[in-house]
């Protein structure tokens, strides 16, 4: 009996030891420490998904955070980025700008469980304040990693894209909030390829997005924020996929009708 028990324990230990030997995810898990939360009924704990959040296990490659407008994606992703040592407006960890005072306190309550291995590269790409990061890079004239050219001298989408292709080097930990905001559908497809290349170079991504194109990335986990809390869903279960499929069916029907109409007349 004891032997059996020992065997079970050692198998569990083996599994645990094996998972702990994996370098990625660099950020394995977060836990919310509620012991010193004073008021649960004000922002950010008034957001249903944050109110019920205990812990999140991250995917080795890509974890998507999805949900309706106002479901708490940015609140959560900013808190993760702050807890990991990024500045509130994004960029590398060296960029420490803050132009507003509307930060939530969530990062103070996040406990991090990290890998034994530290990422060699780090970036927080935040659509909302990317303009401020671009201005900061101009001021410091540290444009080497951005193709040597001011980010303001390019379109919003081009500047965003240059972060993906010029700045990020791999072996990295990357947090993105709505990276698709500036990207056309074909650039989003190209962004997927860039993300995949970086994943192959041992990178981990945590991405808040509304983009059905980005969240179709297969090596990923999708976490849906809603009034009911946070739950893991498959791509096919997301509203984005369902709407995309419905639209395809509607378009197919539309074109079939058009063809029939053309034949008739
Ligand atoms: N600084 C703040 N103070 C008080 N409430 C806030 C603050 N920032 C956001 N909220 C509220 O918290 C909720 C979640 O906001 P959040 O920006 O995290 O949503 P989101 O899921 O990122 O939405 P979107 O898809 O529109 O970007 C919203 O109801 C919002 O009004
Ligand atoms: Mg948001």
How many Å apart are CA 252 and CA 258, to the nearest integer?
10
From first to last of its 265 residues, the chain has per-residue pLDDT tens of 433 444 444 555 666 665 668 999 999 999 999 888 877 789 999 999 999 999 999 999 999 999 999 999 999 999 999 999 999 999 999 998 888 888 899 999 999 999 999 999 999 999 888 888 888 888 887 777 787 888 888 888 888 888 899 899 999 999 999 999 989 988 998 999 999 999 999 999 999 999 988 998 989 999 999 999 999 998 888 877 766 666 666 667 666 766 655 545 4
End-to-end CA distance of the chain: 83
How many Å apart are CA 41 and CA 210, to the nearest integer?
27
Q: What is the pLDDT of residue 124?
A: 95
Q: Is ligand 1 within 6 A of the CB of residue 43?
A: yes
Rg (CA), the chain: 21
Q: What is the pLDDT of residue 7?
A: 47
Place of tokens 């990062």: 107
Distance in Å, CA 98 to ligand 2 centroid: 17
3-state DSSP assignment of residue 58: coil
Q: What is the pLDDT of residue 93?
A: 94
Sign for the CA dihedral angle at 190, 58, 73, 241 comes to: positive
Q: What is the pLDDT of residue 251?
A: 62
Q: Which ligand is nearest to the CA of 76?
A: 1
> Which residues, listed in sequence order, are joined to residue 55 by a DSSP beta bridge?
31
Is residue 199 exposed (0-12), middle (13-18) or buried (19+ Cβ within 10 Å)? buried
Instruction: Tell which atom from ligand 1 comes closest to the C-alpha of 75.
Output: 18
Q: Are 77 and 51 in contact (CB under 8 A)?
A: no
Structure-block tokens of residue 103:
């930060």
CA 263 to chain centre: 48
Q: What is the pLDDT of residue 45?
A: 94
Instruction: Tell which atom from ligand 1 comes closest to the C-alpha of 178.
Output: 27
How many Å apart are CA 42 and CA 32, to the nearest integer?
16
Q: Is ligand 1 within 6 A of the CB of residue 128?
A: no
Structure-block tokens of residue 252:
């197919």
Q: Are 151 and 159 in contact (CB under 8 A)?
A: yes
Residue 160's contacts (CB-CB under 8 Å, 6 or more residues apart) are 125, 127, 130, 179, 181, 182, 183
Q: Is ligand 1 within 6 A of the CB of residue 185?
A: no
Place of tokens 């944050």: 50
């Amino acid at each position: 009996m004891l032997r059996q028990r020992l065997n079970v324990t050692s198998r569990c230990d083996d599994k645990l030891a094996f998972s702990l030997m994996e370098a990625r995810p660099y950020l394995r898990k977060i836990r919310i420490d509620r012991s010193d939360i004073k008021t649960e009924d004000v922002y950010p704990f008034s957001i249903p998904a944050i109110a019920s959040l205990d812990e999140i296990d991250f995917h080795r490659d890509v974890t998507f955070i999805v949900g309706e407008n106002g479901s708490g994606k940015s609140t959560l992703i900013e808190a993760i980025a702050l807890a990991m040592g990024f500045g509130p407006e994004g960029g590398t960890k060296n960029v420490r700008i803050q132009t507003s005072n509307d930060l939530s306190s969530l990062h103070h309550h996040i406990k991090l469980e990290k890998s034994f291995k530290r990422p060699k590269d780090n970036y927080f790409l935040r659509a909302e304040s990317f303009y401020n990061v671009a201005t900061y890079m101009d001021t410091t004239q540290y444009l080497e990693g951005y193709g040597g050219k001011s980010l303001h001298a390019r379109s919003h989408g081009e500047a965003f894209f240059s972060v993906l292709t010029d700045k990020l080097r791999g072996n990295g930990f990357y947090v993105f909030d709505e990276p698709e905001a500036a990207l056309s559908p074909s650039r989003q497809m190209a962004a997927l390829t860039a993300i995949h290349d970086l994943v192959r170079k041992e990178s981990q991504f945590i991405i808040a997005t509304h983009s059905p194109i980005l969240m179709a990335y297969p090596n990923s986990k999708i976490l849906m924020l809603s009034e009911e809390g946070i739950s893991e869903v498959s791509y096919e279960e997301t509203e984005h996929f369902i709407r995309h499929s419905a639209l395809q069916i509607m378009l197919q029907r539309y074109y079939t009708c058009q063809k029939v109409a053309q034949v008739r007349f």
